[in-house]
Chains A and B, each alone.
Chain A
Amino acid sequence: MKALDRREVVASLLERRGGLLVVAGLGAPAWDCTAAGDHPLTFPLWGAMGSACMIGLGLALAQPRRRVLVVTGDGEVLMGLGSLATVGAQRPANLAVVVLDNERYGETGMQKTHTAYGTDLAGVARACGFATARIIRRNAEISDVRSGIYRGKGPLFFQVKVEPDAPPLVLPPRDGAYLKHRFREALLGAQ
């Protein structure tokens, strides 16, 4: 069975996004989020690998009335595996993590990640105390992911199996200070 198309998955999750706050992990997940539409309330990472879930947690704790989504990759989440335990200990009801799992380090030559060798990320998230933790393989399940992100009781974790392809680069701005300022202005007003 062919795995899911990462660009289609992300576009489905981010259409009609309302007040959703998004953190995009470095590499392809950041390009996917940008391809779905550059947005001031998306904070795309160009570095600090392994930090995406923790940035999502800080944001979710600071904004308990908003929904927060982390879109990241299998390699990125593997580098910060302990952060799943940290999120599990806090149990933020408004946080969802979507891992686009192509089982590869896509930016460095498509080397296999640990998920290709059997690491069960959803199992790790479940064991860390996430309220929901699922592996998603079929397009028909994407509506479940969407309702989880926008309405479900978090923390939620969706490991979405995607094709190990490399869609065209769609790059977000790379000035970190600009990305930070525009996010805060869109969320909090002029500072």
Chain B
Amino acid sequence: MVPRNTSKALPARVADWPAAIYGVLKSHRVRQVSYVPDAGHKRLIELCHADREMAAVPLTTEEEGIGLAAGAWLGGERAALLMQSSGVGNCVNALTLASNCGFPLLMLVTMRGETGERNPWQIPMGQAAPEALRLAGVRTLRLERAEEASAVTSTAAKVAFEEQGAVALLISQQLIGVKSFEEKR
């Protein structure tokens, strides 16, 4: 069985991978962070909301964040877009902005439908997400282990803002933990 949360075994400083991602967003001067929430992004969303230098923008659907990032870039700011893998399909047509205009795009995607998923309805989009992104012209990188969060996120941010490319960092379900569907005691 897949452990609920592999990061529990790590020292607190290393295990706090959302804080490591947040630190990379700060060092790359990301000012607009939009999201459709996922439990795996809970802490990162809270960190962004608490930051007065960042606009944390809740979306009704993930594709809105592609437009927001384009507008931010036109205005001289950098953006990031947080979602779970089921939101990738919602983005496909809007990704025209990245591939056609060359807008930088940094997507942070928490994966569902991988090892140990207990909701079968999450599996089709989760399994298709990497290929759907590739077809839409978005590079993908994987984050598997908490201690790599800073380095891998930094690589993704460089692809977005220095190469001015479109990139999605796919955050492994093993790292996030599997949703149990059991009542909390």
Contact = CB atoms under 8 A, between A and B. Distances in A.
Interface of A: 21, 23, 43, 46-63, 80, 82-83, 85-86, 89-90, 176-177, 179-180, 183-184, 187-188
B76 A58 contact: no
Given A55-B67, A57-B68, A82-B61, A43 B74 contact: yes
A58 B69 contact: yes
Interface string B56-68: 0111110111111
Given A50-B63, A90-B57, A180-B102, A58 B74 contact: yes
Interface residues on B, range: 20 to 34
What 4 pairs between A and B have smallest CB-CB spacing? A58-B71, A62-B75, A54-B67, A82-B60
A62 B72 contact: yes
Contact of B67 (A46, A58, A60, A179): A58
Nearest to A52: B67
A58 B79 contact: yes
Contacts, number: 121
B63 A90 contact: no
A139 B73 CA distance: 35
B7 interface: no
Nearest to B100: A176
A83 B102 contact: no
B97 A51 contact: yes
Given A48-B93, A51-B97, A62 B67 contact: no
Interface string B93-110: 110110011110000000
Q: Which label, helix, strand, loop or mixed, suits the secondary structure of the A interface?
A: helix
13 contacts: A21-B75, A48-B94, A51-B70, A55-B68, A60-B75, A62-B32, A62-B77, A82-B64, A83-B60, A83-B67, A90-B57, A180-B102, A188-B76
A85 to B, nearest CB: 5
A46 B96 CA distance: 10
A182 to B, nearest CB: 11
B58 to A, nearest CB: 6
Nearest to A81: B60
A47 B61 CA distance: 18
Nearest to A43: B74
Nearest to A47: B96
Contact of A62 (B61, B71, B93): B71
B64 A86 contact: yes
Contacts of A90: 55, 57
